[in-house]
Amino acid sequence: MSGDRFGIPHDAVAANVAAALAEDIGSGDVTAALLPDGDDVAYLLCKADAVVCGRPWFDACHRALDPDMRIDWRVAEGDRVDAGTVLATLSGRARALVSAERASLNFLQTLSATATVTAQHVAAVAGTGTRILDTRKTLPGLRLAQKYAVRVGGGLNHRIGLYDTVMLKENHVRAAGGIAAAVAVARACFPELPLVIEVESLDELREALDAGCTRVLIDDFDAPTRREAVRIARAAPYSGRVPLEVSGSVDLQGLRAIAEDGVDFVSIGGLTKHVHAIDLSLKLGTPPV
């Protein structure tokens, strides 16, 4: 299965792959030029437990250099695999196989890393009703790719960039003269966009709920204050109409406790920022039996 069911950004794939191949190959792969220009086979080996993500980028790298490259995947996008799993076999021009190797693996190892970590966080809050969000803390040039990987891992995307959601933080509120004033300006200028307000106290929470918004971000609240924030947001007159998001200083070990406090979302920059690549290899030859 391709990545289409996860909302694959086709234009982003093409642009990412073109940039990666240009960066790596430049004027030509001088080492691959030493090889016979015949056909060969290869297999893709995963050396760690992982959630597979990045097939479209992997495929595009190889087919950019050999349009007739045959890639037979043994796993679907989003599958969980164990270390030692052969993910795919390939058949095509030997020079193209080795020239596309590094770029294709770079995409697959990076996006699988994000999907794998996201899946771990999603599993940690299972059954609580809390959903996991990403942030804008992505690798430059790979935002759409990494946000795609978050979806593959079972998470949700926060805003894509500065253009699709109004997010009022401390500096915006201070410059506007308060939460109510900042909300009034936001609603007047961008009435069609979601509005998220970051608050730093329970008083600011009440202001944000009174002013009206799409979601309130409670940033770095301790556990008692967080639980009180949930109580306030769910009680009359607000009655849970505005969901609460937790952000800041969230780690996997403490995530379950935060979710059990009743918040609706937790946003985690580490899904895309703290990338520990999944160990993969592309080897010429047939896979071991």
Q: Could you give the residue numbers annotated as active site?
A: 102, 137, 169, 198, 219
Helix (H, G, I), strand (E, B) or coil at 168: strand
Give the Cα separation of 55 and 58 in Å (integer): 5
| Number of Cβ within a 10 Å radius of residue 31 | 10
**Nearest CA-CA partner of 217 in 173, 256, 252, 257:** 173
Residue 82 token pair: 């164990």
DSSP string, 5-27: GG---HHHHHHHHHHHHHHHHTT
Distance in angstroms (rounded) separating the CA atoms of residues 181 and 186: 9
- Do residues 38 and 66 lie in contact, with contact meaning Cβ atoms separated by under 8 Å? no
* Whole-angstrom distance, CA of residue 89 vs CA of residue 73: 7
Q: How far apart are CA 201 and CA 247, in angstroms?
A: 14
Select from 97, 57, 61, 54 the least CA-distant residue to 76.
54
What would the two tokens of residue 52 be? Answer: 């597979």
Q: Give the 3-state secondary structure of residue 262.
A: coil
Return the structure tokens found at 89: 């076999």
CA atoms within 13 A on the CB side of 189: 11
CA 286 from chain center: how many Å?
33
Tokens for 76?
């679907």
